[in-house]
Amino acid sequence: MLPMEGKLPIGPGWSYEAKWDGIRVIVGTDDRQFRLVTRGGRDIADRFPELAAITAVSSVVLDGELMVFTGDKPDFGAVLSRMGGAKRNARAAAERSPATVIVFDLLAQSGEDLRARPYQERRTALEALTLPDGWIVPPVSRDAAAMVAASATHGLEGVVAKRRDSKYISGRRSRAWVKMRHKTAIDALVIGWASRSKGGVSLLLGEETPDGLVYLGRCQTSADVSATLASLEVSEPAAAVPHARGGVHWVRPELAVEVTAPSRTPDGRLRHAKLLRVRLDSLE
């Protein structure tokens, strides 16, 4: 289940958690083994042997964020480095840059699927688990302002509001979860790219909405991203793009990016968008 981006809802029916800057993972334990599965379906457990103690918690499915901290700050680059490292070097990498999983939901326990139960009930069951070192259940608050202030003070990405009566819907965005970032960052998907006459490339962006993918506008980046996009090329755009000229390479909307813009046009497109980060982990 993925959050929609927007203004934090305020009211007695909501709880608030910090938003963590890591790799979203679904964790499963069974028969003294564990799986650490990315949004793209890749099991990366063999890259993180230091997390194997979770097998002591038998027969659970957890939702969380895979993190590496440098000091007390999240280090997104270090997480990507660990994911891309060779399996034979995993133990040495674990000693240099140990990982942590921030666990924020319990989806199944002892063979029982809990996703249809209310968030508050799942959260209570999660807090009752005894998790090993390296596995942390973060604090939750019913005070939105306090959580916003705390996340900003600790240099975290933002806050997620969760409706306390909400079910968990796997693989979909839901307005029952709403995220707010301290930065004016916007999630987007690359739907195409074109070379620029002055060098580099122009990325054509789409934004996920309740009505589907819509065209968001363009931003510029270096030409090396085109190599990443080559394997995603398709013949037609994933969203309607007005006035699209020749020379555009359309791609499947799988590569996620974060962009920022000072404002939007009346039809929702970004003005003067700037690329903040390419989320290569979205292809894992």
Catalytic residues: 19
Give backbone dihedrals phi and psi of 40, rounded to 5 degrees, phi first: -80, 0
Q: Which amino acid is at 82?
A: R
Helix, strand, coil shares of the chain, percent, nearest 5, are 20, 40, 35
254, 258, 260, 263 alpha-carbon torsion, rounded to 10°: 40
Q: Distance between CA 44 and CA 99 in Å, rounded?
A: 12
Residues 186/261, Cβ–Cβ less than 8 Å:
yes
Burial class (CB in 10 A: 0-12, 13-18, 19+), 96: exposed
Cross-strand pairs, 240: none
